[in-house]
């Protein structure tokens, strides 16, 4: 492939990636997140932070009042409202937002957690391989756990009657899908939430998957907004959806136009490249190679700069922690010294009054 085509492919990929309709971003600043959703290293894998925009609409893990009939310790999955509750004592529950795949809609009723796995392996079903060999054939023998594995950092497997139901509660790196219906998978959580829930539940934990009737009774009706996110079905949300659908259509039209312009530009550049002599192509290729090398060197420089800054911040934090530990140790020693002096004073006061040590009252009484 010529250098022009390689650049065209990269440009086309970025344009097509932008065609995946998502709510428009309001800022171009560096993504921010919320406590509990920061980037975290887990068993050698670096899990990226969940961007704050993917936590909008109340999708972060939250303790809430719980009005369901289930007992404490139960996991309750509502695929219609796309919520998961871990019921606590005192009418409370920890609420998680979930994505629901096609497999997640196939189970209703109750089961128990019959298996738990960290960074689980995954294997597509025979039917998945048969119907979509282009996607799943290469994984027919299984896929090792890792960041690209569709089960994410943790998986909890639902059993009923001692048998695997094929229903899983698991993590995902596709943070934008949480709160949405997806084409595949069971019950997805942010990896950070999957890790948190995994540590809270034990083998044998009861899992209840609500029916639509139960969901309507306890949550009320839900609808998808313009972007496919589950929201309460209210007149306000319905009106907003109509407005957002117009904005979404305009966004998609703009993205389609940008893709067409990029393709036309790429075709023109390729035609110009094809018209070059071999000597001109060689010079052009050399120029592109130099530009690529320069960009790579700049990227490495920025990476080294970021790593140095991170190391500096880490050293600063460690120094502060050491200083605080030393101060705490000094304060403890001072308190122990004061306590010893007070004890000595108490015994001396009793001795002056002719009171034996075993009958010596507390210091305040001894000085009274």
170 assigned to active site:
yes
What is the rounded distance in angstroms from the CA atom of residue 151 to the CA atom of residue 139? 14
Residues in the chain: 368
Selecting among 54, 86, 186, 360, the annotated active-site residue is 186
Phi, psi of 190, rounded to the nearest 5 degrees = -55, 145
What is the rounded distance in angstroms from the CA atom of residue 85 to the CA atom of residue 91? 12
Question: Do the Cβ atoms of 76 and 210 come closer than 8 Å?
Answer: yes
Closest CA to 7 of 269, 258, 264, 257: 269
110: β partners: 208
Question: Do the Cβ atoms of 189 and 98 come closer than 8 Å?
Answer: yes
Selecting among 170, 180, 350, 360, the annotated active-site residue is 170
Catalytic residues: 170, 186
């Amino acid at each position: 492939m010529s250098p022009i085509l390689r650049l065209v492919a990269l440009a086309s990929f970025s344009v097509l990636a932008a065609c995946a309709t998502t709510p428009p971003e309001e800022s171009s600043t560096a993504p921010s997140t919320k406590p509990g959703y920061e980037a975290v290293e887990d068993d050698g894998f670096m899990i990226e932070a969940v961007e704050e925009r993917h936590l909008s609409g109340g999708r972060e893990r939250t303790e809430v009042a719980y009005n369901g009939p289930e007992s404490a310790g139960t996991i309750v999955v509502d695929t219609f409202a796309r919520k998961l509750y871990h019921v606590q004592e005192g009418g409370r529950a920890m609420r998680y937002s979930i994505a629901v795949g096609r497999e997640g809609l196939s189970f209703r009723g109750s089961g128990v957690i019959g298996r738990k796995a960290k960074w689980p392996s995954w294997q597509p079903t025979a039917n998945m391989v048969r119907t979509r060999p282009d996607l799943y054939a290469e994984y027919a023998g299984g896929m090792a756990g890792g960041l690209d594995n569709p089960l994410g950092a943790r998986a909890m497997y639902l059993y009923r009657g001692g048998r695997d139901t094929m229903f899983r509660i698991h993590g995902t790196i596709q943070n934008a899908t949480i709160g949405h219906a997806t084409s595949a998978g069971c019950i997805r959580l942010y990896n950070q939430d999957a890790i948190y829930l995994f540590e809270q539940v034990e083998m044998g934990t009861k899992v209840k998957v609500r029916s639509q009737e139960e969901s309507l009774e306890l949550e009320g009706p839900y609808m998808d907004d313009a972007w496919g996110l589950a929201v309460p079905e209210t007149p306000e949300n319905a009106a907003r959806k109509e407005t957002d659908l117009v904005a979404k259509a305009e966004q998609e039209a703009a993205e389609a136009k940008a893709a067409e312009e990029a393709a036309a530009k790429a075709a023109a550049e390729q035609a110009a490249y094809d018209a070059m002599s071999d000597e001109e192509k060689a010079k052009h290729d050399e120029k592109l190679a130099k530009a690529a090398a320069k960009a790579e060197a700049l990227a490495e420089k920025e990476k080294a700069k970021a790593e140095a800054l991170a190391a500096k911040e880490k050293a600063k934090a460690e120094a502060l922690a050491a200083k605080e530990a030393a101060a705490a140790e000094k304060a403890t020693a001072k308190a122990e010294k004061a306590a010893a002096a007070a004890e000595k004073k108490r015994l001396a006061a009793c001795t002056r009054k002719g009171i034996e040590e075993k009958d010596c009252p507390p210091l305040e009484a001894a000085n009274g």
